[in-house]
């Protein structure tokens, strides 16, 4: 590949890293779009049905009123064109009756019209006239009879009764609609300007065929539109899926490369830390080896038992230091467990008497004071691992006190209620800088971090490991707690808390 291709791949990788867009995101997007499309389709369908229903209702009412109004107008104009009753001949009478029947019958020929009649109030009753003879008798002969009425006419009279006074007063068209979409239309009947009653028409205009046709056309258009959208989304889906697959392949290769680089970096850091830890501890082994040589030179029959016991402790500690140099992370069972039983008071006394006092022998620059609780229970910890924790803490009190005469106070206490032992190591020095006592993001005080030290600039090159190693062993390996603070009367104090319930618990 050319340099330009590598630059192009690098820009693509940076773009993908900035906008993380996974396969599941695209699938969710497609599903959401399809769901929204169906929801919009259903809403539009319901809205269209509602518009169709309202439009159909309006048109049906308008058609029914137009037909009824045409009927009333035809009857009124017919009466206007005829002479008064005194001038009618037999032939004229028959012609009028025939014209009335034609008007009634023509309206009934409409497929949507069910009933047509004229409602005329008479005294306390209402007459329903639906043929030419009855209407002629009432208008021209003043016949004193009651026409026969079927059920539809009774229904018309029942509906007109509450409207009678209103129509007589206002002379306006009134339309009623029942649950079966049947319209009852009442048109004022006013021949020669005189209100006589109302022309009643019962009709049921059927426009369902038009609604079905329009709805079917809309459904077809909506399905085609939705199908095109789905096809487009699927095309986008497959194209994006292929692009994402190529991106995932590139990311996988990049991840493998970064994983290999990270593993090499971690191994390098472990080796570097391991080397620094060896450098920090080798001089301790050298110091103890010097003590062994000195004890061997002083060996005599009178001191053989004391020196043998002391040399045994020294040799075991050197062996432990050498063992620690073999591992990045020594196995936990070599540090604590039910096989070990260590007296912390005894370890402290041995360190002070046979290590620190021996180094400071002949000098008045330091003083050790101990206050050890005899009720301290034994702990299930390797004795020389406890030595590795306590020795750098005491040495740190001596090295960083920065006073002419250092006084180190070592105190132990056991709390039966809390079932824990506390070990405090304090000095009379200048104390710890306040910023070193602040916890970091992980809640660990900075004094216990690697490379952190309060030593002078000239001694910082190999400093910052004593407290760090002690903290790592005590907290991560032994399950103890370690805290640092400054004493009110001056000097620093490091406190170890040993929970006895956790003595043999394994990580």
Q: What pLDDT, on the 0 to 100 scale, is given for residue 427?
A: 92
Judgement on whether residues 51 and 191 belong to the same structural domain of the protein: yes
| More confidently predicted of 475 and 206 | 475
pLDDT value of residue 52: 67
As a whole number of angstroms, the distance between CA 100 and CA 66 comes to 19
Domain boundary pick from 188, 206, 224: 206
Residue 86 inside a domain? The answer is yes
What CATH number does the domain containing 115 carry?
A: 3.30.450
Max Cα-Cα span within the chain: 174
pLDDT, the chain, mean? 78
Task: Say how many domains are in the chain.
Answer: 2
Query: Residue 423: what are its φ and ψ, rounded to 5°?
Result: -125, 120
Q: Give the residue, 481 or 161, on which the prediction is more confident.
A: 481
3-state secondary structure 223-246: HHHHHHHHHHHHHHHHHHHHHHHH
For the CA atoms of 90, 91, 92, 97, what is the dihedral angle to 10 degrees?
A: 90
- On the question of pLDDT at 199 being above 50, the answer is yes
> Residue range 141-146: average pLDDT?
60
Nearest to 380 by CA among 420, 335, 332, 340: 340
The predicted pLDDT at position 274 comes to: 65
Residue 454 reports pLDDT greater than 80 = no
As a whole-number percent, the residues of the chain with pLDDT over 90 amount to: 11
Tell me: do 335 and 201 sit in the same domain: no
pLDDT at 420: 93
Note whether residue 320 is domain-resident. Answer: no
What pLDDT digit, counting tens, does each position of 207-241 carry?
666 667 777 777 777 777 777 777 777 777 778 77
**Bridge partners for 117 per DSSP:** 200
Element (H, E) at 19: none
> Is residue 358 located within the same domain as residue 497?
yes
Residue 101 placed within a domain: yes
- pLDDT of 349 strictly over 60: yes
Q: Of 352, 368, 282, 351, which is closest to residue 313 (Cα–Cα)?
A: 351
The stretch 380-385 carries a mean pLDDT of: 90
DSSP string, 266-292: HHHHHHHHHHHHHHHHHHHHHHHHHHH
Is pLDDT at 149 greater than 60 in this prediction? Answer: no
How far apart are the C-alpha atoms of 92 and 105, rounded to whole Å?
Answer: 20
Distances (CA, A) of 190 to 77, 129, 169, 186, 449: 10, 15, 12, 12, 110
**How far is residue 386 CA from its own chain's centroid?**
48
DSSP H/E element including 415: strand 406-415
Residue 135's closest CA among 124, 70, 127, 203?
A: 127
Give me the pLDDT at residue 210, please. Answer: 64
CA angle 367, 361, 311 (to 5 degrees): 110
Q: Please report whether residue 30 resides in a domain.
A: no
Give which of 356, 348, 75, 97 is closest to 192, Cα–Cα. 75
| 255 located within any domain | no
CATH number of the domain enclosing 378: 3.30.565.10
Q: Is 262 helix (H, G, I), strand (E, B) or coil?
A: helix
**Least confident stretch, 98-102, 104-108, 289-293, 395-399:** 104-108
Predicted pLDDT of residue 409? 93
- Give 35-104 as a DSSP string: HHHHHHHHHHHHHHHHHHHHHHHHHHHHHHHHHHHHHHHHHHHHHHHSPPGGG--HHHHHHHHHHHHHHH
Nearest to 469, CA basis, from 286, 330, 369, 343: 330
Pairing status of strand 174-177 against strand 183-189: antiparallel
pLDDT for 367-381, tens place per residue? 899 999 999 999 999
Task: Name the percent of the chain in helix, strand, coil, to the closest 5.
Answer: 60, 15, 25
- pLDDT tens-digit readout, 12-43: 555 545 445 555 666 676 677 777 777 777 77
Of 154, 183, 206, the last residue of a domain is 206
Distance separating alpha carbons of residues 360 and 431, to the nearest angstrom: 22
Q: Is the dihedral of CA 426, 429, 430, 436 positive or negative?
A: negative
In a domain? residue 322:
no
- 451 phi, psi to nearest 5 deg: 70, 0
Residues spanned by the domain of 368: 331-502
Same domain, 349 and 487: yes
- Lowest mean pLDDT: which of 2-11, 173-182, 349-358? 2-11
Q: Which helix (H) or strand (E) holds 187?
A: strand 183-189
Query: CB of 201 within 8 A of CB of 174?
Result: no
Picking from 206, 228, 262, the residue at the C-terminal end of a domain is 206
Q: Is 450 a member of any domain?
A: yes
Structural domain contains residue 492: yes
């Amino acid at each position: 590949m050319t340099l330009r291709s590598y630059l192009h791949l690098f820009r693509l990788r940076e773009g993908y890293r900035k906008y993380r867009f996974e396969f599941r995101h695209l699938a969710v997007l497609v599903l959401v779009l399809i769901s929204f499309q169906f929801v919009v389709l259903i809403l539009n369908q319901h809205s269209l049905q509602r518009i169709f229903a309202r439009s159909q209702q309006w048109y049906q009412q308008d058609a029914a009123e137009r037909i009824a109004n045409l009927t009333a107008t035809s009857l009124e104009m017919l009466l206007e064109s005829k002479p008064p009753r005194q001038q009618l001949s037999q032939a004229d009478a028959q012609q009028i009756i025939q014209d009335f029947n034609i008007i009634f019958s023509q309206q009934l020929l409409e497929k949507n019209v069910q009933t047509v009649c004229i409602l005329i109030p008479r005294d306390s009753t209402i007459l329903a006239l639906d043929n030419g003879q009855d209407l002629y008798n009432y208008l021209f002969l003043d016949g004193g009879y009651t026409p026969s009425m079927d059920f539809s006419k009774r229904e018309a009279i029942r509906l007109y009764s509450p409207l009678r006074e209103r129509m007589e007063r206002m002379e306006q068209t009134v339309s009623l609609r029942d649950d079966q979409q049947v319209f009852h239309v009442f048109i004022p009947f006013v021949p020669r300007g005189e209100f006589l009653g109302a022309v009643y028409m019962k009709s049921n205009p059927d426009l369902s065929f038009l609604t079905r046709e329009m709805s079917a056309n809309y459904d077809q258009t909506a399905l085609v539109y939705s199908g095109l959208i789905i096809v487009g989304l699927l095309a986008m889906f497959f194209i994006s899926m292929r692009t994402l697959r190529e991106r995932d392949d590139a990311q996988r290769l990049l991840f493998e490369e970064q994983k290999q680089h990270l593993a090499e970096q971690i191994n390098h850091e472990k080796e570097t830390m391991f080397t620094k830890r060896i450098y920090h501890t080798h001089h301790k082994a050298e110091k103890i080896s010097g003590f062994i040589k000195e004890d061997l030179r002083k060996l005599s029959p009178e001191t053989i038992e004391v020196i043998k016991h002391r040399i045994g402790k020294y040799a075991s500690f050197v062996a432990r230091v050498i063992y620690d140099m073999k591992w990045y992370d020594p196995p936990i069972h070599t540090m604590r467990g039910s096989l070990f039983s260590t007296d912390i008071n005894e370890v402290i006394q041995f360190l002070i008497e046979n290590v620190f006092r021996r180094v400071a022998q002949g000098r008045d620059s330091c003083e050790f004071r101990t206050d050890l609780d005899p009720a301290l229970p034994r702990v299930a910890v390797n004795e020389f691992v406890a030595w590795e924790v306590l020795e750098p803490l005491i040495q740190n009190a001596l090295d960083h006190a920065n006073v002419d005469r250092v006084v180190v106070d070592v105190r132990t206490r056991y709390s039966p209620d809390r079932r824990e032992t506390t070990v405090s190591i304090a000095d009379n020095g200048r104390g710890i800088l306040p910023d070193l006592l602040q916890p970091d993001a992980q809640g660990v005080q900075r004094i216990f971090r690697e490379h952190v030290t309060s030593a002078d600039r000239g001694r910082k090159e190999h400093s910052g490991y004593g407290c760090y190693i002690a903290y790592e062993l005590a907290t991560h390996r032994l399950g103890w707690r370690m805290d640092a603070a400054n004493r009110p009367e001056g000097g620093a104090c490091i406190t170890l808390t040993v929970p006895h319930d956790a003595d043999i618990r394994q990580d």
